[in-house]
């Protein structure tokens, strides 16, 4: 699915939430304002009219209530389970991998819950809105390609390492010498799977064109998202799955190499976030849950 479609589907999973939030206050503020954030995201691609915005708010509200009541307690339980694993003194890679797999499951449930509302909203798009989205998305592709057109291999390495360090810092703090070496080894393994910018651009454009074609001809027909899924490039999906497997393996090794100070920091962060999720879930306890 393309980025705007994910926005329309209520772009929320455990990892997305944690990426939004740099602190406890940020997490709560982001969660309580997700409708506004999602509409801002959509506005970058499609100008919804007033009836469409009203439909979006209706669908989003029901999904938000369901998510707050049924999913946030699961997030909190997963985080506390990982925190408990720290107390055993055992390496953390396996426990971290389990938590990430649980997050995948939560994301799948969210997507299944969101699909009917997404299809109802997509069915209302007019030809002009789809054409406008097509133009904006192609423009974004071109801008992103231009930004990295002259990026040398060493620049890609520095960016890759920087992104990984920043991601891990949220959980472990500054990486130790062993973890830094593991990241360098991870980059060396990644080189074999790198694509040239032109190849990446071609893959993105082909996926976008399939999406536009599907919207243009079948947005009012039932099963739209199922057709998108069936028509997805199987080879690209396999490459994506392999890339995720490499990322998970690297995360596991980094967590296995956590020192005592990092383990203490990780436990405190996990328990703080679990408490935040519980508090957010409690805010909606008096609201009737939306039907699946």
pTM: 0.86
Q: Does 287 score more than 50 pLDDT?
A: no
Residue 269 is assigned to a structural domain of this protein: yes
Residue 135 is assigned to a structural domain of this protein: yes
Average pLDDT of 278-286?
79
Q: What is the 3-state secondary structure (H, E, C) of the chain?
A: CCHHHHHHCCCCCHHHHHHHCCCHHHHHHHHHCHHHHHHHHHHCCCCCCHHHHHHHHHHHHHHHHHHHHHHHHHHHHHHHHHHHHHHCCCCCHHHHHHHHHHHHHHHHHHHHHHHHHHHHHHCCCCHHHHHHHHHHHHHHHHHHHHHCCCCCHHHHHHHHHHHHHHHHHHHHCCCCHHHHHHHHHHHHHHHHHCCCHHHHHHHHHHHHHHHHHHHHHHCCCCCHHHHHHHHCCHHHHHHHHHHHHHHHHHHHHHHHCCCHHHHHHHHHHHHHHHHHHHHHHHHCCCCCCCCC
Q: Does 15 score more than 70 pLDDT?
A: no
Residue 115 is assigned to a structural domain of this protein: yes
Q: According to the model, what pLDDT value does residue 163 have?
A: 94
pLDDT digits (tens, 9 = 90+) for 220-257: 998 988 888 887 778 788 888 899 999 999 999 999 99
Residue 214 is assigned to a structural domain of this protein: yes
Q: Does 1 score more than 50 pLDDT?
A: no
Q: Which residue has the higher pLDDT, 3 or 47?
A: 47
Q: According to the model, what pLDDT value does residue 253 have?
A: 97
Q: According to the model, what pLDDT value does residue 285 have?
A: 56
The overall average pLDDT reported for the chain is 85
Residue 290 is assigned to a structural domain of this protein: no
Residue 291 is assigned to a structural domain of this protein: no
Q: Does 73 score more than 90 pLDDT?
A: yes
pLDDT confidence tier of residue 290, bands split at 50, 70 and 90: very low
Q: According to the model, what pLDDT value does residue 110 have?
A: 86
Structural domain count of the chain: 1
Residue 288 is assigned to a structural domain of this protein: no
Q: According to the model, what pLDDT value does residue 34 have?
A: 81
Give the domain extent around 190: 3-283
pLDDT digits (tens, 9 = 90+) for 87-144: 999 999 999 999 999 988 888 888 888 889 989 999 999 999 999 999 999 998 899 8
Percent of the chain whose pLDDT exceeds 70: 88
pLDDT digits (tens, 9 = 90+) for 20-43: 445 566 777 778 888 888 888 788
Residue 292 is assigned to a structural domain of this protein: no
Which residues, at least 6 apart from 118, have a Cβ–Cβ distance to it below 8 Å?
5, 8, 9, 59, 225
């Amino acid at each position: 699915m393309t980025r705007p479609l994910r926005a329309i589907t209520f772009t929320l999973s455990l990892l997305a939430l944690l990426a939004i939030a740099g602190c406890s206050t940020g997490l709560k503020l982001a969660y309580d304002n997700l409708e506004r954030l999602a509409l801002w995201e959509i506005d970058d691609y499609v100008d919804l009219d007033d009836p469409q915005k009203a439909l979006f708010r209706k669908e989003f509200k029901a999904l938000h209530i369901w998510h707050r009541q049924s999913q946030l307690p699961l997030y909190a339980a997963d985080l506390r389970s990982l925190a408990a694993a720290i107390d055993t003194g055992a390496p953390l890679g396996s426990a971290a991998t389990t938590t990430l797999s649980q997050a995948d499951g939560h994301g799948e449930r969210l997507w299944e819950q969101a699909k009917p509302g997404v299809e109802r909203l997509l069915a209302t798009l007019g030809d002009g809105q789809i054409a406008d989205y097509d133009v904006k998305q192609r423009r974004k592709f071109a801008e992103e390609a231009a930004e990295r057109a002259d990026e040398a291999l060493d620049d890609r390495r520095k960016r890759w390492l920087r992104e990984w360090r920043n991601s891990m810092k949220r959980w472990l703090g500054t990486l130790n010498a062993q973890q830094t070496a593991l990241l360098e080894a991870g980059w060396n393994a990644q080189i074999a799977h790198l694509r040239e910018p032109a190849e990446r651009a071609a893959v993105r454009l082909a996926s976008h064109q399939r999406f536009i074609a599907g919207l243009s001809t079948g947005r009012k027909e039932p099963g739209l998202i199922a057709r998108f899924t069936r028509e997805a490039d199987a080879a690209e999906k396999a490459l994506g799955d392999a890339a995720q497997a490499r990322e998970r393996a690297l995360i596991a090794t980094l967590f296995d190499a956590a020192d005592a100070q990092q383990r203490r920091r990780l436990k405190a962060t996990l328990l703080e976030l679990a408490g935040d999720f519980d508090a957010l879930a409690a805010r909606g306890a008096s609201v009737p849950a939306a039907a699946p």
